Structure 1
Amino acid sequence: MGLLLRIVLATALVNLAPAVAQAKNAVASPALQKEFDGFIEKFRAALKANDSAAVAGMTRLPFMNDNAIRDAAQFGAKTYRTSFTAKNRACIQRGKAVYDRDDYKNDSYFIFCGELIFVFTKTPAGFLFTDISAND
């Protein structure tokens, strides 16, 4: 392979790399971002009031497909009390939400709080709190 061809190929790869890296960083549309901003404002207000019933109303139930957490009372007793500590509520209040779109075209936002990730997903009913995952 000639030197000129190698230089052209190397230049093409260098120019292509940012486009490939950028494609992996999903960006929400302005309309989707606006919808999420409205949702998270209400969610944060419920957390500030420490209102587990209001948070449950913005949660996909049964939570994480667990039939033992299928209503607001169960959510409050089994999830809210343990996962929404004062520290985690404060973190969600100030945490930056990170957007991503998965391979199934699900739009989600994530807020990282220490060892936990709080997940909010766009559903046919609008955005809902859908998951708590380990931040590994």
Structure 2
Amino acid sequence: MKTLLTLAFALSVMQLAPAFAAAPKKAVASPEVQKEFEGFITKFRVAVKANDPAAVATMTRLPFMAEDSVRDAAQFRAKIYATSFTAKKRSCLLRSKAIYDRDGNNNDSYAIFCGDDIFVFTKTPSGFLFTDISVND
């Protein structure tokens, strides 16, 4: 009976091995990317803590999310910051850990999950920028 159980266990492990081998590897940022993002997110959080939409806008890729209606800092402040940077979301941005990933275009990016929103920061040729708010589904 013991041999039969050992054989059954070995067979089940052999069947699961391909699934584990095929599982995607978690992306890991290079030390340079980590350092660059840490510098960016520190400044971003200072602006968020001060509730300074003008400073946040300077760290945002505009037009925001390629929306023609959010082409400059004033439009960003009125249409995005006013609704997406509530006190609760600002608190979350200050305390939550950013998660590294590579986006669909193979760009370095970080995300902070705050309730129903995902705040996305992407490495651009000019450095990291706040680039998107996605729905956390």
Shorter-chain-normalised TM-score: which range? 0.7 to 0.9
Unaligned runs of 5+ in 1: 1-6
| 1:52-78 superposed Cα distances (whole Å, 9 cap, x missing partner) | 000000000000111111111110011
Question: Which of structures 1 and 2 has the bigger CA Rg?
Answer: 2
Q: 1:35 aligns to what?
A: 36
Q: 1:124 aligns to what?
A: 125
Code of the aligned partner of 1:55: V
Q: 1:98 aligns to what?
A: 99
Matched, 1:45 2:46: yes
Q: Give the total of aligned pairs.
A: 129
Unaligned runs of 5+ in 2: 1-9
Deviation at residue 40 of structure 1 after TM alignment: 0.3
Separation in 2, partners of 1:125, 1:36: 12
Separation in 2, partners of 1:88, 1:32: 25
Code of the aligned partner of 2:28: V
The root-mean-square deviation of aligned C-alpha atoms, in Å, is 2.0
Counterpart mapping for 1:34-113 below 5 A: 34-113=35-114
Separation in 2, partners of 1:34, 1:86: 28
Under a length normalisation based on structure 2, what TM-score does the superposition of the two structures give?
Answer: 0.85
Code of the aligned partner of 1:100: D
Code of the aligned partner of 1:37: E
| 1:61-100 superposed Cα distances (whole Å, 9 cap, x missing partner) | 0001111111111100110010000000000000110111
Give the 3-state SS of the residue equivalent to 2:77 in structure 1: helix
Deviation at residue 18 of structure 1 after TM alignment: 4.3
Identity of aligned residues (%): 67
Deviation at residue 107 of structure 1 after TM alignment: 1.0
Separation in 2, partners of 1:135, 1:33: 24
Give the 3-state SS of the residue equivalent to 2:61 in structure 1: coil
